[in-house]
Amino acid sequence: MTDLKTYAGSCHCGKVKYDVAIDLANVMTCNCSICSRTGSIMAFVPEEQFTLRAGADAQTDYQFNKMNVHHLFSSTCGVRSFGRGTGRDGKGMYMINVRCLEGVDPKALTIKEVDGKSR
């Protein structure tokens, strides 16, 4: 049973805004080349739990390696508040940067550390 709650999220300048229904019981950090540099705390949701409210045209898309994950960031402030891709089941999913959600205290979360560097 999941405990979904809806949060508002945004980049620093506010040009990119979204709502997401998310369970913050399963959040993680990763030590891969991009995650270790951006410092995101991540959680993943299926695409039907994500609604972009503003900023579709205010983002830049960065892809690398297999080019299957869209690492989106604000073209103005550079903050990576979410990304999108395809899950292992072939369905669309979003990576949410929990640090960009309003009303969330990252120090209150149980964060799993993932060794993406070794994959």
**DSSP summary character for residue 63:** -
Of the chain, the percentage scoring pLDDT greater than 70 comes to: 98
Burial tier of 94 (Cβ tally within 10 Å: 0-12, 13-18, 19+): buried
CA distance 9 to 81: 7
Average pLDDT over residues 12-25: 97
CA distance 11 to 4: 22
Fold for 5-114, please state it: 2.170.150
pLDDT of 116 reads: 86
Of the chain, the percentage scoring pLDDT greater than 90 comes to: 82
Residue 1 above 60 pLDDT? no
Residue 50 above 70 pLDDT? yes
**Residue 79: pLDDT band by 50, 70, 90 thresholds?**
very high
pLDDT of 45 reads: 96
Q: 46-62 b/e with 16+ CB inside 10 Å = b?
A: eeebbebeebeebbeee
**Residue 64: pLDDT band by 50, 70, 90 thresholds?**
confident
**Residue 91: pLDDT band by 50, 70, 90 thresholds?**
very high
